[in-house]
């Protein structure tokens, strides 16, 4: 019962966000991420991916519809205009300086962006923020910021976003599903 | 490799390139274990691994003239074997022949039977690309930069696959 | 634990020999393929085929480049989607966890 109630609250949160009528979504919902060169220098492992519309189209040509992972990816990227990922892992706990992400946060302060999720955990000292730029029917821009002691990840996606499809991808792609941390 | 053995290796490869059948047979015998094992770990099926091994060496025979050294040929064998296996897994994964017989062949220490068998099964459940990374890393002892060249995969992707695969294996073992 | 796991993986994935029967079949199969290839090479049209293959190689070189670009984009796409899905999952679990603690959702 309690799980169902939480699930309902989660769905309401998504639905409310997607239904938010933001007439100023005519402003760009694409948030291009900087390369975070100073974080790359400190990280033991970096993932920097920038897929604009042309690159998404190129990558989509290589997706094999008979492969389950590729088929899931093909559905997920339908309507997307760009995907930017910056993910950094550190050998030792590292507090990302606020100056590093100040530009990012200032862009997300624009009216057409709404922070729909903001969580902080004292247990593992992690923060997860999700921002959405949406019209009346679809999310048009999505930014996820995950900050943990040894990892910092920012994902920025623009286009017609289906959150449920993106959430369900892990484990179906050519990257193994990660173990739950809780 | 000392100077004498390097010279012998070069002479042997020159004979292979010159069309010496016995030299080529020697090269096949020296490397069939590596190719077969890559096929077996990737495809988890003995018959499929044997077919793949045969195809790879036939293809090698056709390409001998383009491979300058035996080391070059070994890298080529590894690369082609893994790519063929990945392609086959994506098209139509062969059914696993099970690990009982494999275990009897593989394990010299009966005490490791269960863990080794379980690990091989878990590796065989990974998607094709991470599976290839794990097999190249731990069967062939290749480092990520060598793996990325073999698989034509960005280095960061190789490292991600490796990191996540180990996390999955660790979780499933526990 | 990582070091032990890696050691166990090395042990579990040690190369193995194919059966002796297969090894013999392999050499026979290669010999048959070699004979067939030799017969083909004796065909009269070989010089023409060689010339055509040069032209083809140039075009193929470009196609190989394009193929490599697509492969790279494909690999990046899959990784980007995996990280996105995992990040969303982190957020979902964080909200659910927070909800179980306080009875309210996060944010």
Residues in chain C: 107
Contacts (Cβ under 8 Å, ≥6 apart) of B84: B39, B52, B55, B56
Among all chains, which residue has been given the structure tokens 């062939």? Answer: B140
Instruction: Give A68's contacts in chain C (Cβ within 8 Å).
Output: none
Greatest Cα pair distance, chain B, in angstroms, is: 54
**Sheet strands (E) in chain A:** 45-51, 80-89, 114-121, 126-134, 139-148, 151-161
Residues of chain C contacting B102 with CB distance shorter than 8 Å: 16
What percent of chain B lies above the pLDDT cut of 90? 44
Q: In this complex, is the C-beta atom of A164 within 8 Å of any C-beta atom belonging to chain C?
A: no
The per-residue pLDDT for range C62-102, each reduced to its tens digit, is 777 777 777 778 888 888 888 888 888 777 776 665 544 44
* Average confidence (pLDDT) over A72-83: 84
- Name chain B contacts of A176, Cβ cutoff 8 Å: 126-127, 130, 161, 164-165, 167-168
> Do A170 and C85 lie within an 8 Å CB cutoff?
yes
Contact list, B163 vs chain A (CB under 8 Å): 45, 89
How far is B8 from chain C, CA to nearest CA, in Å? Answer: 23
Average pLDDT score over chain A = 74
Chain A residues in contact with B126 by the CB 8 A cut-off are: 176
- Residue bearing the bigger pLDDT, B24 or C45: B24
Residue listed under structure tokens 């990520």: B144
**Tell me: the pLDDT tens digits for A92-150?**
888 888 888 888 888 898 888 888 888 887 777 888 898 988 765 567 889 999 998 88
Q: Which of A9, A69, A144 has its CB closest to that of C88?
A: A144
**Considering only residues 35 to 94 of chain C, which have any Cβ-Cβ distance to chain A shorter than 8 Å?**
69-71, 73-74, 76-94
- Only one residue has tokens 């082609």, namely B80
Q: Please report, for residues A177, A178, B156, B172, the alpha-carbon distance to residue B168 in angstroms, rounded to integers and kept in the order given.
A: 7, 6, 18, 6
CB pairs under 8 A between B and C: 109
A6 inside 8 A of chain C by CB:
yes
- Give residue for tokens 């902080």: A120
Planar angle of CA B157, A75, A145, nearest 5 degrees:
55
pLDDT exceeds cutoff 60 at B110: no
pTM for the complete prediction?
0.50
Q: Which residues pair with A53 in a beta bridge?
A: none
| C89, closest residue in chain A (CA to CA) | A167
In angstroms, rounded to a whole number, what is the distance separating the alpha carbons of residues A124 and C76?
29
Contacts of A152 (CB under 8 A, 6+ apart): A39, A86, A87, A88, A90, A94, A96, A146
| Contacting residues for A25 by C-beta, under 8 A, at least 6 apart | A112, A133, A134, A135, A140
ipTM: 0.85
Q: What is the pLDDT of residue A67?
A: 74
- Asked whether the beta carbons of B160 and A88 are under 8 A apart, the reply is no
For residue C71, which residues of chain A lie inside 8 Å, CB to CB?
A: 62
Chain centroid to Cα B142, Å, comes to 11
For residue B134, list chain C residues with Cβ-Cβ distance below 8 A. 9, 13
Cα-based distances in Å from B38 to A176, B139, B147, C20: 20, 8, 13, 18
Residue A92: CB partners within 8 Å, gap ≥ 6? Answer: A150
Predicted confidence (pLDDT) per residue in B154-167, tens digit: 999 999 999 999 99
Out of B90, B91, B126, closest to residue A176 by CB? B126
Answer whether A20 touches C (CB < 8 Å).
no
- Interface partners of chain A (CB pairs < 8 Å, 3 or more) are B, C
Of the partner residues A69, A173, A178, the one whose CB lies closest to the CB of residue B167? A178
- Phi–psi pair at C3, nearest 5 degrees: -60, -45
Residue B174, judged by CB atoms within 10 A of its CB (0-12, 13-18, 19+), counts as: exposed
């Amino acid at each position: 019962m309690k799980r169902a109630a939480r699930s309902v609250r989660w769905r309401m949160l998504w639905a409310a966000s997607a239904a938010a009528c933001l007439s100023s979504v005519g402003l760009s919902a694409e948030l291009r991420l900087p390369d975070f060169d100073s974080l790359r220098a400190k990280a033991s492992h970096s993932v920097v991916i920038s897929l604009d519309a042309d690159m998404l189209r190129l990558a989509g040509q290589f997706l094999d519809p008979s492969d389950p992972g590729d088929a899931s990816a093909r559905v997920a990227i339908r309507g997307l205009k760009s995907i930017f990922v910056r993910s950094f892992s550190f050998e030792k706990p590292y507090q990302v300086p606020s100056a590093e992400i100040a530009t990012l946060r200032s862009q997300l302060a624009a009216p057409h962006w709404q922070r729909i999720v903001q969580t902080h955990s004292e247990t593992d000292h992690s923060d997860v923020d999700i921002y959405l730029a949406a019209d009346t029917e679809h999310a048009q821009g999505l930014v996820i910021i995950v900050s943990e002691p040894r990892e910092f990840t920012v994902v920025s996606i623009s286009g017609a976003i289906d959150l449920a499809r993106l959430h369900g991808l892990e484990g179906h792609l050519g990257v193994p599903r990660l173990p739950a941390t809780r | 490799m000392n100077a004498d053995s390097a010279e012998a290796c070069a002479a042997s490869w020159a004979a292979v390139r010159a069309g010496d059948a016995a030299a080529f047979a020697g090269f096949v015998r020296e490397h069939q274990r590596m190719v077969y094992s890559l096929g077996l770990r990737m495809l988890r099926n003995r018959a499929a691994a044997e077919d793949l091994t045969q195809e790879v060496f036939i293809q090698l025979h056709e390409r001998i003239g383009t491979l300058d050294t035996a080391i070059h040929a070994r890298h080529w064998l590894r690369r082609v074997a893994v790519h063929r296996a990945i392609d086959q897994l994506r098209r139509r994964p062969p059914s696993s022949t099970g690990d009982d017989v494999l275990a009897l062949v593989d394990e010299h220490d009966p005490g490791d039977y269960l863990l080794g068998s379980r690990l091989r099964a878990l590796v065989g459940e990974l998607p094709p690309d991470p599976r290839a990374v794990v097999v190249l890393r731990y069967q062939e002892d290749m480092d990520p930069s060598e793996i990325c060249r073999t698989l034509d995969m960005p280095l960061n992707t190789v490292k991600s696959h490796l990191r996540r695969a180990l996390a999955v294996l660790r979780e499933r073992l526990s | 634990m990582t070091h032990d796991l890696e050691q166990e993986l090395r042990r579990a994935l040690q190369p193995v020999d194919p059966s002796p029967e297969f090894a013999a079949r392999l050499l026979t199969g290669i010999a048959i393929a070699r004979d067939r290839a030799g017969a083909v090479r004796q065909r009269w049209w070989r010089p023409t085929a060689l010339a055509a293959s040069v032209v083809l190689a140039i075009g193929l070189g470009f196609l190989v480049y394009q193929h490599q670009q697509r492969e790279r984009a494909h690999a990046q796409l899959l990784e980007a989607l995996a990280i996105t899905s995992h990040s969303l999952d982190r957020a979902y679990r964080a909200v659910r966890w927070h909800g179980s603690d306080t009875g309210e959702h996060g944010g």
